[in-house]
Amino acid sequence: MHHGVRRNGRDYRDYWLDQVDEAGVLAISIELPEASFPEYLWYHFGNLHDKEGTPNPREEWTFGIVERLFELLLAQGVTTRQRYGLFGHSAGGQFVHRMVSFGFRDRVAVAVSANAGTYAMPDLSTPWPFGLGQTDVDTDALRALLGFPITVMAGTADVETTGHFFPKGPRSMRQGANRYERAHTYVRSGHATAAALESNCAWTIIDVPGVGHHGKRMSAAAAPIVSAAMRANGKDGNATECGAVGSRATIGEGRSTVHNASGTGVIK
């Protein structure tokens, strides 16, 4: 679990305590304190560059912490699973989708980015961090990213723009007027880019009705999605069933309906 800009990992741990028994998952909240990982460059943007814009070595990127932590959990016998799930809210949602954008996803079974403030658009002509331009991501890497099943969750009431931490710069505003719009812009851009590349896009957008910028309520909405993906992958890490690819869903009370090219399914 990846917290927001307040670096409140303990809160996110507590949000998931109500979910883990029913979801059947071990939830670990990773806290990246401001003192050790200052500002957005280290957290939201993964420490790709320093303040002067000089690229940092890949081994210094914050995105690699998750994989190293998972390897330690395996080595210490805390888990026997070969894959793990990701959930990030707000700044954590920025961290999660940017992390998988750079290939840190070999053992990721599910990646959920919820209510992110900005996105690294799947566009090699838009410079980082608002796109993937001027990075080591090339066309082949972009195709691979588009084929990876990112789940973007958007609270339909996450439309406030007056908060201190809401990104209001011109590059942010080009992605949408609020966080809800930006989530849809990101997934729509993924499908458009895939079409232009004559490739597939496995990204999904899920609307969470009536929920604003609320980490606890978005965690509750995400828990069944993470649980289903982990169960589908099994303890050995091999997928046992497939979900919808490139779909759109709206979570209702007690269930979510997924609309996709092969029909409509209901997840209770």
* Residue-wise pLDDT tens digits, 98-157: 999 999 999 999 999 999 999 999 999 999 999 999 999 999 999 999 999 999 999 999
Q: What is the pLDDT of residue 254?
A: 35
3 domain-assigned: no
Output the average pLDDT for the chain.
Answer: 89
Domain of residue 129, CATH code: 3.40.50.1820
Query: What is the tally of structural domains in the chain?
Result: 1
**What are the distances in angstroms from CA 6 to CA 95, 109, 165, 205?**
14, 27, 10, 25
**What are the distances in angstroms from CA 108 to CA 20, 67, 86, 207?**
18, 9, 7, 22
- Work out the average pLDDT over 8-21: 95
**pLDDT > 70 in the chain, percent:** 87
Q: What is the pLDDT of residue 197?
A: 98
Amino acid at 103: G
Alpha-carbon distance of 182 to 162, in angstroms, equals 16
Q: What is the pLDDT of residues 234-262, one digit of tens each?
A: 765 554 333 333 445 555 533 333 333 32
109 and 86 in contact (C-beta within 8 Å)? no
Banded model confidence at residue 16, pLDDT cuts 50, 70, 90? very high
**pLDDT > 90 in the chain, percent:** 85
**3-state class (DSSP) for residue 258:** strand
Closest to 154 (Cα-Cα) out of 253, 260, 248, 46? 248
**3-state class (DSSP) for residue 103:** coil
* Run of H or E including 145: helix 139-146
- Work out the average pLDDT over 83-106: 98
Q: What is the pLDDT of residue 243?
A: 33
Write out the residue range of the structural domain in which residue 43 sits. 9-267
**What are the distances in angstroms from CA 123 to CA 10, 190, 196?**
35, 9, 11
209 and 156 in contact (C-beta within 8 Å)? yes
Alpha-carbon distance of 177 to 161, in angstroms, equals 8
29 and 9 in contact (C-beta within 8 Å)? yes
pTM of the full predicted structure?
Answer: 0.89
Q: Which of 40-44, 149-153, 229-233, 252-256 has the lowest mean pLDDT?
A: 252-256
Strands of the sheet with 204-208, listed across from one edge? 84-89, 108-114, 150-155, 204-208, 248-252, 255-260, 263-267
Q: What is the pLDDT of residue 267?
A: 26
66 domain-assigned: yes
Q: What is the pLDDT of residue 39?
A: 87
4 domain-assigned: no
